[in-house]
Structure 1
């Protein structure tokens, strides 16, 4: 079968062209057809589907040098925001339409994330380790909003699908070096090439910085390789990903410290070390001109070690007992504690997908099976707090928990896009998920558990190309998320867990079910103008929330209903030497049920007679914390010549509630103020293959905060530990935004 340059049978582009008739119906014969954008409609790599026939506001962006995936999405996508809780470029909480993908256990996860069809939400807590994404090898990032069931578990608010480069489409060698603020140095090398049947691609990247806050170094090393083979009817790719990272994220800072020194920290160390090894094999085979088979198998291994210096949550009780015993000098309780965790996760998965192209149908059906196992331990070691608020251990290490968790998920899915006529297409999808979670306590039997979750999730949608420049779309879809081993092991409010996690015998948790409505209009006028307007609403049933009981402890619980609804507006275009974009999102994220939540640092705690002394009453309509209602993104690029580009961009966000003030009744500073950040960047190709580039973040050196929580502070304003817990005060803790920073670099390309 003859192939085109992309490797697909020539009959397929011909069939796709027939589906573009809506433009021809309304256009004159001399009107050029618009460029067709094809997006991924399933987790496995494949042909995809034209964006105009997807009943959702799908967005695709290109990765940028020197920016993490979360940072790039925050600067580009209207509905994306970031909470920089850890103040580390690789540990951001990425929010999209009010749903989160985060590396931090305790953050409710609501986005599924894929790299080349491999799900990278880790099995132990559904977290996403951005430092393990092969940044220098990424070719595109596609965001599919809504509860699209085809993308499987955790697709509550959307799916992020990343594709890596290959040697056939990315030939040559690129070397990139940059340096600048915070002692940051990056070095990246990529090489790709191909022969008649083979192609290869290799990328290596090194990132080092001292960080802008005290005691905040970070070191990230990544390697990626891909070998491809292409025959007349088939192709296959083998990829290997390796990463070794050492991250420091020093977290929130109390207001009393923040006013004196934004670069200071609360307690330290707060260190996370990750090591990844992943192997993936993907193959495609054309049975004939209209039927394609795609298969994938992968193995993923992640080792995580954390070391956290925290205040001792048991200190108040131990201090009271010490006083009752006569306040004997030398027998004082430890003010600090070193919490260590180790998590070794192994994941293995396989999937098979069949796609059929007919005159009016594009039908895809698939099956998948994924299994993970995690070995987890957590230990504690008491010690004294130093003058710099580090922890000097002086007690023996105590093993607090040791857990073995397994997760197995089997799925079957089908999706069909049916063209009623040249202008209207209907889409129907369904996926059945069955998940089994098994916990085994290796220190006893309190944590033992065997839980099974299953659900059939449907989706329907319609697109209508009203004329060549205007299209309408509407959809309804459902998705689910099964509780993870860590959530099932930390769900008892009477036994809160110390993060990253300490476990106790806990009640059963229900799975989360999300139901999404979306409709909108989109259009274009050539390259001069592209626009979209979308209305969406997602309701979560039995949402799993993490309720904090201190700066480092809390528990997971089901909450009746929560809802994220809003409006997305987008404009982009180009004129002469300028191209520009503007994106605005209004988001209303609320609780839709009433309940009592633990929030002892909230001044209104205990005020409602229906709740306990340390609880607040959350009512239907109250805002979810950590999410701004308004987001505005602007970008402008100037191309005075073919070799020079100068750009600027701005992100602005309205205020947000801090965690612990979910009822918005705290008598004090219970919010984070709105803020705007301006950035500039440029690149200049001063010789063939030689480009100098640079960027300045936060040009006006704005002082802002991107996250916050209410908690108790055991230190005075100078940072000295207050030995009497009666002197401790409740405060707002915040995550300070990074100050002005600049980097410059050189890119050399041999093509």
Structure 2
């Protein structure tokens, strides 16, 4: 493993933060509090777009805030209360507060309680249960790559952590876009599918994943001035566990301090076939700190910082002879790297909102994110000390793709951004109107260093500036009609090595929903999204090295190798044009006084103009005995790609028992060739959950079945994914209000599954086996966890 000193520093820092936070508190006997029950939202939350009633302004000191409905729901889920997650407040679809079930958009919400119950090892364990969402995670890589509706890579899915964009990307045998975030830090997740969330920022033609990290409301209970949550989980199958501590104090009604620390460690896991997946062990240390002030009535300023330090090893050992230049494909491994990834996220958020102010309700966020991934080569998959040109020696073997043993490489992305928006509310007759307008932008600065390998070519350094402005009108007429109209203007500029590229566009959105009878709201929507090409797609240029094998072609950059990358400064941005028909269903008291039924169903078709894909030139005779092969690879615009399907999310909660079904049916094609897209599309997925509550709802037993079909409609050069049927069992018990026990068994049938297609054999008969070996998920895994709460007035 890489240097572990950073892990110790993070834990010491996080513990010191908590000690400082709690130092002034009265550490009297902790007071037990019952599990919180859901409360009716305040009028502004229930009808966020109604004009606020006029009140005389006062200068009185603002009292300590009460938890929002979203936070109350999250806390209740961790206990035994009957709460529908689709009733949670979200702002992700329209930047105005509304319940997820009322949003005229395909929105899903995950609460902190659900995350705790799942005891996830990585974020993908949570997101894979949502309709239209899939993952392309490698077992030996600690980062996460999200796919929504068959779209991923290069920012097609916008990922936000407390409002900060996560744009990290490196090109290799992995997804072209990922982020680092431990699930123990998360307080809630909002997922919006499709470009209906275009006002949230540029690029999200696939959708939006917005993470809220934990805050003081996730720990403190009503009436408490200070509180601490201690948690721990252990697991089998790559034995390991996680320990965490989060705590905060309300210093006075105008100041909150909150902090936390997380440590996670695990070994290599086995897949459902019993094969140990090499280098799937990893270690994480993380810390966070948030300070919230209320300098004046209606104003809230929050300053937050998160630091994560991951140590892991990526790559796979050779399973065959190390003295053979080209061992059989099923035996060949890859080079192996000790990796240290550090992620820093800092945010400053200023929110102003008062019930008697209809003109201003604004939110301003400044953020910076830094991801640095330093890697040292520790193993070469086979002896290739010769090569063209000779690169390494027998003492430190390697190749000219990734360098020699002992060489280092690094990937660095610095992102800085701003998001400003305001909502003004007014009424005209029976029409209640909310006008939201704002600007946003970010700057990506990519820096790649590879001492003697190929990463400088495949992940070029450079800068990207993306900015935009939007306006949205949201109107409600009486109780039965809602209309949302929006327009967003985007512009971008790329710069690298003296080459530049730029562009701009105006993207519209219109949504109309009606509620002819209470509880039944159908809607139609049309939204366009605009994704600027990335630095890699536009400016990649150079030779793909041979790895010590034969030279196939001489390339324009003056080097020789397997093939040549060509830059494309004329690459056009992608434009997603999404059509959607949906229905929201919301009924209470159907069979019993306390039951509830929620459903969000929708069909969609997203036509993507100028879809960007890596295109190979027609095969031609190579320098190696004239073997036909593609000489050039270039990112090019495909005239049109089409992704369409159905999504559904249904839940029923009767208090003593509950059941839910979520899933999708989907397909995606290059309409010019009628061939499936070389991307992660799960054609069919169904996630079924059912459970029972006992002992006054302090004990919950549930089961989950995740079933997905294999996507066989992929280009001929890809190996299709497998189908999968994964059954998980969960038990949560709250013997007292301050103690929660969780037990689970994941993949109880020990099924083998590989959820996404992988590249097939290349021209020399080799398969990209680091993906072949690391794409299967874990087999049967047992987990047990404990959370203890302390707090006082």
TM-score band, normalised by shorter chain: 0.7 to 0.9
CA contact (8 A) 2:263 2:286 kept: yes
Q: Is the 8 A contact 1:417 1:425 kept in 2?
A: yes
Cα deviation code 1:690-722 (max 9, x no counterpart): 2222221110111222234344489xxxxxxxx
The structure-2 alpha-carbon separation of the partners of 1:109 and 1:41, relative to structure 1 and needing over 3 Å to count, comes to closer
Counterpart CA distance in 1 for 2:675 and 2:457 is: 39
**Residue 327 (structure 2) aligns with:** none
SS of residue matched to 1:136: helix
Residues in 2 aligned to 1:696 and 1:169: alpha-carbon distance in whole angstroms: 26
Q: Which residue of 1 aligns with 2:20?
A: none
* Alignment match, 1:351: 419
The structural deviation recorded for 1:524 is: 2.4
* Residue 575 of structure 2, aligned match among 495, 500, 513: 513
| Alpha-carbon displacement from aligned partner over 1:387-412 (angstroms, at most 9, x marks no partner) | xxxxxxxxxxx987995411222211
* Change over 3 Å in CA distance of 1:682–1:555 after alignment to 2: farther
Q: Which one is further off, 731-740 or 277-286?
A: 731-740
Q: Is the 8 A contact 1:489 1:504 kept in 2?
A: no
Alignment of 1:582 with 2:661, yes or no, is yes
Are residues 1:94 and 2:146 paired?
A: yes
Name structure 2 gaps, 5 residues minimum: 1-37, 53-84, 221-226, 270-276, 322-329, 548-562, 589-594, 618-628
- RMSD after superposition: 4.2
Count of residues in Structure 1 that have an aligned counterpart in Structure 2: 642
**Partner in structure 1 of residue 447 of structure 2:** 375
Give me the TM-score of the superposition, normalised by structure 2: 0.72
Q: Specify whether residues 650 and 358 from structure 1 end up closer, same or farther in structure 2 by C-alpha distance, changes over 3 A only.
A: same
- Aligned counterparts of 2:371 and 2:398: Cα–Cα separation in 1: 33
Q: Which structure 2 residues correspond to residues 104-143 of structure 1 after superposition, within 5 A?
A: 107=153, 109-122=155-168, 129-131=178-180, 133=181, 135-143=183-191
Question: Residue 537 of structure 2: SS of its match in structure 1?
Answer: helix
Work out which of the residue numbers 585, 588, 597 in structure 2 matches 1:529: 597
Contact 1:244–1:274 (Cα < 8 Å) also in 2? yes
Q: Which residue of 634, 658, 676 maps to 2:688?
A: 634
Residue segments in structure 1 that go unaligned for 5+ positions in a row:
1-5, 21-33, 101-106, 257-262, 323-328, 383-397, 441-447, 594-618, 715-724
Matches within 5 A, 1:223-234: 223-230=287-294, 231-234=296-299
2:635 aligned partner: 556
Counterpart mapping for 1:635-674 below 5 A: 635-641=689-695, 642-657=697-712, 662-664=714-716, 670-674=719-723
Q: Shift of the alpha carbon at 1:121?
A: 2.2
**Superposition deviation, residue 42 in structure 1:** 6.4
Is structure 2 residue 749 aligned with structure 1 residue 700? yes
Aligned partner (choices 187, 191, 194) of residue 146 of structure 1? 194
Matched with 1:482 is 532
- 8 Å CA contact 1:68–1:130 kept in 2: the answer is no
Shift in Å at residue 118 of structure 1?
Answer: 1.6
Q: What does residue 275 of structure 1 align with?
A: 342
2:216 is matched with 167
Measure, in 2, the Cα distance between the counterparts of 1:333 and 1:429.
58
Give the alignment of 1:337-486 within 5 angstroms. Answer: 338-339=402-403, 340-359=408-427, 360-380=432-452, 404-440=461-497, 448-486=498-536
CA contact (8 A) 1:286 1:292 kept: yes
TM-score, normalised to structure 1's length? Answer: 0.76
Q: 2-side partners of 1:399 and 1:149: how far apart?
A: 32
Find 2:310's aligned residue among 245, 262, 267: 245
Q: 2:734 aligns with which of 682, 685, 694?
A: 685
Structure-2 separation of matches of 1:477 and 1:536? 11
Offset, 1:247: 2.9
Give a deviation string over 1:118-145, Cα, whole Å, max 9, x none: 21223888965442x3633322111112
> Is the CA contact (8 Å cut-off) linking 1:146 and 1:156 kept in structure 2?
yes
1 CA distance for matches of 2:120 and 2:531? 29
Change in Cα spacing, 1:371 to 1:202, as seen in structure 2 (3 Å) is same
Could you say which residue in structure 1 is the equivalent of 2:274? none
Give me the whole-angstrom Cα distance separating, in 2, the residues matched to 1:623 and 1:352: 36
Shift of 1:210: 1.5
* d(CA) in 1 for partners of 2:368, 2:235: 37
Question: Take 1:313 and 1:557, find their aligned partners in 2: how far apart are those partners?
Answer: 34
Could you list the per-position Cα deviations for residues 624-659 of structure 1 after superposition, in whole angstroms to 9, with x for gaps in the alignment? 4542211010111221123212221111111124xx
Matches of 2:144 and 2:434, distance apart in 1: 38
Q: Give the 3 Å change call, closer, same or farther, for CA 563–272 of structure 1 in structure 2.
A: farther
Select the residue among 344, 352, 374 that pairs with 1:285.
352
Aligned to 1:365, what secondary structure does the other structure show? strand
Deviations 1:557-608 (A, max 9, x none): 3322211100112221112421111112100111112xxxxxxxxxxxxxxx
Other structure's SS at 1:488 match: helix
Deviation at 1:91, TM superposition (A): 3.2
Deviations 1:416-437 (CA, angstroms, capped at 9, x unpaired): 1012332101101111111111
Does the aligned pair in 2 maintain the 1:377–1:402 contact within 8 Å? no
Query: Does structure 2 retain, via aligned residues, the 8 Å contact 1:380–1:400?
Result: no
Choose 452-461 or 731-740, whichever is displaced more: 731-740
SS in structure 2 of the partner of residue 173 of structure 1: strand
- Show CA shifts across 1:159-178 (max 9, x none): 11222333245312111112
Contact 2:644 2:666 in 1 (8 A): yes
Residue 540 of structure 1, CA deviation: 1.4
1:200 to 235, 247, 257: 257
Q: Is contact 1:214–1:265 with CA below 8 Å preserved after alignment?
A: no
Specify the SS of the correspondent of 1:467.
Answer: coil
The alpha-carbon distance between structure 1 residues 709 and 548, as it changes in their structure 2 partners (threshold 3 A), is farther
Rounded to whole Å, the distance in 2 between the matches of 1:297 and 1:366 is 14
> C-alpha distance in 2, partners of 1:533/1:692?
34
Rate the CA distance shift 1:483–1:729 in 2: closer, same or farther, 3 A: closer
Deviation at 1:356, TM superposition (A): 0.7
- What corresponds to 2:284 in structure 1? 220
Q: Distance in 2 between matches of 1:656 and 1:308?
A: 34
Would you say 1:235 and 2:235 are equivalent positions? Answer: no
Question: Residues 648 and 699 (structure 1 numbering): CA distance in 2 closer, same or farther, change over 3 Å?
Answer: same
Distance between the aligned counterparts of 2:479 and 2:649, measured in 1?
26
**1:296 Cα offset (Å):** 1.5
Question: Could you list the per-position Cα deviations for residues 650-692 of structure 1 after superposition, in whole angstroms to 9, with x for gaps in the alignment?
Answer: 11111124xxx8345x7xx943331111111212223442222
2-side partners of 1:650 and 1:547: how far apart? 38
- Alignment partners' CA distance in 1, 2:784 and 2:376: 33
Distance 1:737 1:330, change over 3 A: closer
Higher alpha-carbon deviation: 522-531 or 502-511: 502-511
Shift of 1:236: 0.7
What's the offset of the Cα at 1:245?
A: 1.0
2:132 pairs with 73, 79, 83, which one?
79
Distance 2:287 2:369 in 1: 15
Deviations 1:16-61 (A, max 9, x none): 49699xxxxxxxxxxxxx9965321469xx7523446532121111
Q: Which 10-residue stretch deviates more, 621-630 or 481-490?
A: 621-630
Query: Cα–Cα, structure 1 residues 624 and 348, in superposed 2: closer, same or farther, change >3 Å?
Result: closer
Question: Secondary structure at the residue paired with 2:604?
Answer: strand
- Relative to its length, the structure with more strand (as a share) is 1
